[in-house]
Chain A
Amino acid sequence: MARKTLRSQLRLGCQVAFTALSNGYVQGFFKGKIYNSPTKYACVPGLNCYSCPGALGSCPIGSLQAVIGSRKFHVSLYVLGFLMMVGAILGKAVCGFLCPFGLVQDLLHKIPGVKKLRRLPGETYLQWLRYVMLGLLVILLPMVVVDIVGQGSPWFCKYVCPSGTLLGGIPLLAGNPALRSAVGWLFTWKMAILVVILVLSVFLYRPFCRYLCPLGAVYGFFNRFALYRFTLNEEQCTHCGACHKVCGLDIDPSKTPNHSQCIRCGKCLDACPHEAIVSTMARRKKKGETAF
């Protein structure tokens, strides 16, 4: 129990510290302006909007669309390379530890007194939406739908991203009357998406990460071979189901310890009475250990 509490507290501390650090331009919130210095050459690992008044770095999904939709380039080696480097080390642990919008959903899910859902009907199909977001709204449409000067739009940012609405839209509109006067149907649409996701987060663990986030879809691809991954010791696992029961994302790590949705929260590591699931960080050389 103590280990469990310590691990989740450390993770929460890490999420809060990273969110505060990567959004450290506090004056921006008061002035209704964003930070404009060369630190924004660099991407941050999580879905942290570069139009958040405090943001010191750039959102990888926004950057990807900006480069793909620009007149000069149609692919982004810069962002792809960045995602490969981060993904190769951490995989989707980024989502568990370093993403502000993941933190928001985690906090909402802690609200007690409501019945928590394990999954939604049609879960498997809903999860494919992440790839539609990535392939269609982040890559294809910004690349092919261009204006007369050859410039594409960031479709995911424009029509879906609730992180942009929450971290960028709301604080900027609150502090900037000129922007407030320009609000129209698009803002209402994006606010509606945000509200649905925030309310759903109280009942279901991380609905945006499960169904819609293109960045999580990218990191999930690396989970199988990232430096930080899990291993199941077949000899010790009794398939009691304790790990599956505690997983907020309804993953059974005794079957797929490196599932593409696993955010490495570590709850299953603590729940296993036989310590059969091991991370590469705490790997012990034991006979019968197999990596997936």
Chain B
Amino acid sequence: MKRHLPAVAVFCLGAVLLTLGIVRGEAQTVLQKAVIICMECIGIG
């Protein structure tokens, strides 16, 4: 278990950051970008 401690700690920290990101509305920004065709991605914009 001790060998996996860094991975577990990083995973937990990641979960906290992800939650904070959702709370402050970042997921909404991601969705808004992802549901319309991104002109930059396809090489037009």
Using a CB–CB distance below 8 Å, which chain A residues touch chain B?
33-38, 40-41, 43, 49-51, 55, 58, 62-63, 66-67, 70, 72-73, 76-85, 87-89, 153-154, 157-158, 161, 164-165, 168-169, 172-173, 179, 182-184, 186-187, 189-191, 222, 225-227, 291
**Which residues on B sit within 8 Å (CB–CB) of A191?**
43
B residues 1-45 with Cβ under 8 Å of A? 3-4, 6-8, 10-11, 13-22, 24-31, 33-38, 40-45
> Interface centre among B4, B18, B28, B45, by most A CB within 10 Å?
B18
Contact B10 A87 (CB under 8 A): yes
Top 6 closest A-B pairs, CB basis? A78-B21, A84-B14, A81-B18, A81-B17, A164-B41, A77-B21
User: With contacts A73-B29, A226-B7 known, is A51 near B35, CB below 8 A?
Assistant: no
Closest partner residue, chain B, to A63 (CB atom) = B30
Contact B40 A158 (CB under 8 A): yes
CA of A168 to CA of B27 in the docked complex: distance in angstroms?
A: 21
Question: Can you list 26 A-B pairs with a CB-CB distance of less than 8 A?
Answer: A40-B34, A41-B27, A51-B37, A62-B34, A62-B41, A67-B30, A73-B26, A73-B29, A78-B27, A79-B21, A80-B17, A82-B14, A82-B18, A87-B14, A89-B7, A153-B40, A161-B41, A164-B40, A169-B41, A183-B43, A186-B43, A187-B42, A225-B6, A225-B7, A227-B4, A227-B7
Contact B10 A157 (CB under 8 A): no
**Which residues on B sit within 8 Å (CB–CB) of A82?**
14, 18
Contact B41 A78 (CB under 8 A): no
Contact B38 A165 (CB under 8 A): no
**Which residues on A sit within 8 Å (CB–CB) of B29?**
66-67, 70, 72-73
> Interface centre among B19, B37, B45, by most A CB within 10 Å?
B37
CA of A187 to CA of B30 in the docked complex: distance in angstroms?
A: 24
**Which residues on B sit within 8 Å (CB–CB) of A187?**
42-44
> Interface centre among B20, B22, B27, B38, by most A CB within 10 Å?
B38
Contact A89 B11 (CB under 8 A): yes
Contact A36 B35 (CB under 8 A): yes
Contact A157 B40 (CB under 8 A): yes
**Which residues on A sit within 8 Å (CB–CB) of B4?**
227
Within the complex, which residue of A55, A72, A81 is in contact with B16, where a contact is CB–CB below 8 Å? Answer: A81
User: With contacts A76-B21, A89-B11 known, is A179 near B44, CB below 8 A?
Assistant: yes
**Shortest CB–CB separation between residue B15 and chain A, in angstroms?**
6
CA of A73 to CA of B37 in the docked complex: distance in angstroms?
A: 21
Contact B8 A77 (CB under 8 A): no
**Which residues on B sit within 8 Å (CB–CB) of A76?**
21, 26
Contact A66 B33 (CB under 8 A): yes
Closest partner residue, chain B, to A165 (CB atom) = B43
Contact B10 A62 (CB under 8 A): no
Contact B31 A41 (CB under 8 A): yes
Contact B26 A77 (CB under 8 A): yes
> Interface centre among B17, B24, B36, by most A CB within 10 Å?
B17
